[in-house]
Amino acid sequence: MKDIQVTEVFGFQIGQAEDEKGGSGCTVILCPQGACAGVDVRGGAPATRETDLLDPINMVERIHAVMLSGGSAYGLDAASGAMRYLEEQGIGHDMNVAVVPIVCGASLFDLSVGDASCRPDKEMGYQACLNSEQNHFEEGCHGAGTGASIGKILGFEKAMKSGIGGYGVQLGDLQVAAIVAVNACGDIYDPHLHEIIGGPMVNHQILPTTQVLKQGVEMPQGNTTIGCILTNAVLTKAQAKKIAGITHDGYARVITPVHTMSDGDTVFVMGSQQVKAMPDIVGAIAAEVMSEAILRAFKSAKAAYGLPCYQDIRG
């Protein structure tokens, strides 16, 4: 098994756009030929688009994009930009009178940073699609991770900066990669070091969120980690949905606590239908690459909007 870039997975193109000053952005994953897709939404506060279509009992078998964005529910508008872009390319389901692209999406809450009136919109989503023609992905405070943060149980002033990350592997011909914007209420736990490496900062020390929670402090509103698995595997919708659920194991390995009532944690899975593979193998790898992508999202973020970052405390 070897490491690969997320942009190497067959059939996909990735683009990002952001307003650094405003503190928000979006990341689009396009599959022009159509991807079999599934989703698993956990936590109590999701902001999502077109997730019902991904239920295996429903008709549509292929989607054309997943849009990850900041901006809370306002940021779902970025998917309209992807709709416009794909329609211009003639990509979508042919309905005789028009092509209808299927764009799924999820948004995280980043209105506490930068300018609360800055939300990814149709124009930003369209720009991300134009940028995807270069198929370039940058980790850290970019795209949907521009305004992301973690460790907010003691208030935003005690939180740490996070971002977006990606990681992929190839096993034989099978490719599996993860992209994730990490905006968790909880801490970041590094299983390689066996310790919490990010969380609420008190006197330059990390105070574990679960410890604070046990004291009766309520979880703050405004979180959510959103991610997508990209694979060249041949999948059914039911298999994609199951793999999305398995991938949440990757969330749970490094985010603690996870799937809280104030998180809308969401995982999409997109398969470009090229390589036959056992779904259990794809799921096991998906959870692994997601964990690594989350660590990379946190570790690659730079200090911004008054929030310290991993590099500040680890050097």
Give the predicted TM-score (pTM) of the model.
Answer: 0.97
pLDDT for res 219: 78
Per the domain annotation, does 308 fall within a domain? no
Q: What is the pLDDT of residue 220?
A: 81
pLDDT grade, residue 315 (50/70/90)? low
Give the distance, in angstroms, between the CA of residue 48 and the centroid of all CA atoms in the same chain: 12
Within a domain: residue 310?
no
Over the chain, what is the mean pLDDT? 96
Q: Which two tokens stand for residue 10?
A: 């067959």
The answer to the question of residue 313 being in a domain is no
198 in any annotated domain: yes
Residue 315 lies in a domain: no
Q: How confident is the model at residue 90 (pLDDT cuts 50, 70, 90)?
A: very high
Q: Which domain range does residue 243 map to?
A: 2-301
pLDDT tens figures, 41-82: 998 999 999 999 999 999 999 999 999 999 999 999 999 999
18 — pLDDT class (breaks 50, 70, 90):
very high
Instruction: Look at the chain and report how many structural domains it folds into.
Output: 1
Q: Is residue 309 part of a domain?
A: no
Q: Rounded to whole angstroms, how far apart are CA atoms 193 and 269?
A: 28
Q: What is the pLDDT of residue 218?
A: 82
Q: How many residues does the chain have?
A: 315
Whether residue 306 is contained in a domain is answered as no
List the CATH number of the domain containing 61.
3.60.70.12
Beta strands in the chain (DSSP E): 2-4, 13-19, 24-41, 48-49, 63-69, 93-94, 99-100, 103-107, 149-150, 160-161, 164-171, 174-181, 187-190, 195-198, 201-202, 205-206, 226-233, 255-256, 266-275
| Site of tokens 């902001």 | 47
Lowest mean pLDDT, pick from 73-77, 124-128, 138-142, 200-204? 200-204
In a domain, 296, yes or no: yes
